[in-house]
Amino acid sequence: MSASAVMFYILGALVLTFGVLTVFTRKIFRAAVYLLLSLIGIAAIYIIMDMQFIAALQIVIYVGGIVVLIIFSIFLTHQAGERLPSRLPKHLLWSILLSGVGLLLATHILYHFSYKPSIEPAIEHSVKNIGTQLIDFRSYGYVFPFEVVSILLLAAMVGSIIIAMKTKKN
Amino acid sequence: MEQVPLSHVLILSSCLFFLGIYGFFSRRNMITMLMSIELILNSININFIAFNKYLYPHQLEGVFFTLFIITVAAAEVSLAIAIIINLYRKFNTIDVEDTNTMKF
């Protein structure tokens, strides 16, 4: 077993542990911090898979943006140190049933499926190749989804400002 | 990394996915439900990257899908937090069991 394989199993165990803590803890701020650590672990998994660009994006957008936004909204809507209310038994039963059966089914299928890798020569997953194909408009480029997603981001920005704005009372 | 079989990566991501499903259906607080959605989206990103690396190394499609999923997740989180803050102003709570004005 090579060093990167050992690293993968350690990081996978860390990611799953922090994910379990995120879902099961009763204090909401701790849940946000555990989510942060889990996302950093996923970025490290990307790095040992040789996807440095995606790992950098994961750190910048998820860890630096989304989790900070979640922590801000926790501070706006919660008192410090209060515990979350307990779960309803009906919800608990259904969610345990759904996730347990789904996990068993998915692991069974994934373990017994035979994967066929392609035999064509591999290309480098560098930022240069990714950028070239992202704004290419001739051969399998992604320039149209790129523009659509930029308009989506603009619309989401304007929409969230409008929704969260305080309305004046007449 | 070549010693790790593809199925182990996929099993890791499906464990994370069903953890997110469990949290989404059992939590009552809207912000913790949002955190579960983040876990689900991240597990799907791991799947795309693993398929791209192991099965189709001559293409970049998994990387692009991951990029667009991250972008859409950022938009989704900003909108969801705006809705949560507005809801907190109106009802003074963000528990999904208490905000039932439009419930049929």
pLDDT at residue B13 in the model: 94
Contacts of A57 in chain B (CB under 8 A): 67, 70
pLDDT (tens, 9 = 90+) of chain A, 170 residues, equals 788 899 999 999 999 999 999 999 988 999 999 999 999 999 999 999 989 999 999 999 999 999 999 999 999 888 767 787 777 788 889 999 999 999 999 999 988 888 888 888 888 888 898 888 888 888 888 999 999 999 999 999 999 999 988 777 66
Q: Do B79 and A156 touch (CB under 8 A)?
A: yes
Contacts of B26 in chain A (CB under 8 A): 23, 87, 91-92, 95-96
**Structural domain contains residue B100:** no
**Structural domain contains residue B77:** yes
Which of B11, B34, B79 lies nearest to residue A110, judging by beta carbons?
Answer: B11
- Decide if B76 contacts A160 (C-beta within 8 A): no
Q: How far, CA to CA in Å, does A135 sit from each of A126, A138, A144, A155, B59?
A: 15, 9, 8, 21, 16
**Structural domain contains residue B101:** no
Contacts of B94 (CB under 8 A, 6+ apart): A77, B29, B30, B31, B84, B87, B88
**Structural domain contains residue B78:** yes
- Decide if A163 contacts B80 (C-beta within 8 A): no
DSSP conformational letter for B97: T
DSSP conformational letter for A140: S
Which of B10, B68, B86 lies nearest to residue A163, judging by beta carbons?
Answer: B86
User: 3-state SS string over A4-27?
Assistant: HHHHHHHHHHHHHHHHHHHHHCCE
- Decide if B76 contacts B69 (C-beta within 8 A): no
Question: What does the buried/exposed string (b/e) look like for B13-32 if buried means 16 or more CB atoms within 10 Å of the residue's CB?
Answer: bbbbbbbbbbbbbbbbbbbb
**Structural domain contains residue B44:** yes
Q: How far, CA to CA in Å, does A92 sit from each of A23, A28, A112, B30, B31?
A: 12, 18, 30, 16, 18
Is residue B37's pLDDT more than 90? yes
Determine the Cα–Cα distance for residues A150 and B59; give it in Å rounded to an integer: 24
To the nearest whole angstrom, how far is the Cα of A24 from the nearest Cα of chain B? 8
Query: Which is nearest to B17 in space by CA: A15, A87, A134?
Result: A15
pLDDT at residue B32 in the model: 92
Is residue B91's pLDDT more than 90? no
**Structural domain contains residue B26:** yes
Q: Indicate whether this complex's ipTM tops 0.85.
A: yes
Q: Do A8 and B4 touch (CB under 8 A)?
A: yes
Q: Do B70 and A122 touch (CB under 8 A)?
A: no
The region of weakest confidence among A8-17, B56-65, B87-96 is B87-96
Q: Do A28 and B32 touch (CB under 8 A)?
A: yes
Is residue B15's pLDDT more than 90? yes
B16 close to A (CB below 8 A): yes
pLDDT at residue A117 in the model: 84
Sign of CA dihedral B9, B11, B17, B22: negative
Helix (H, G, I), strand (E, B) or coil at A135: coil
Find the domain containing B38 and state its range: 6-91
A52 close to B (CB below 8 A): no
Domain containing B68 — which CATH number?
A: 1.10.287.3510
Contacts of A110 in chain B (CB under 8 A): 7, 10-11, 14
Average pLDDT over residues B72-79: 93
A36 close to B (CB below 8 A): no
Is residue B83's pLDDT more than 70? yes
**Structural domain contains residue B32:** yes
pLDDT at residue A144 in the model: 92
pLDDT at residue B1 in the model: 62
User: Which 53-82 residues of chain A touch chain B by CB within 8 A?
Assistant: 53-54, 57-58, 61-62, 65-66, 69-70, 72-74, 76-77
- Give the count of domains, chain B: 1
* Mean pLDDT computed over every residue of chain B: 90
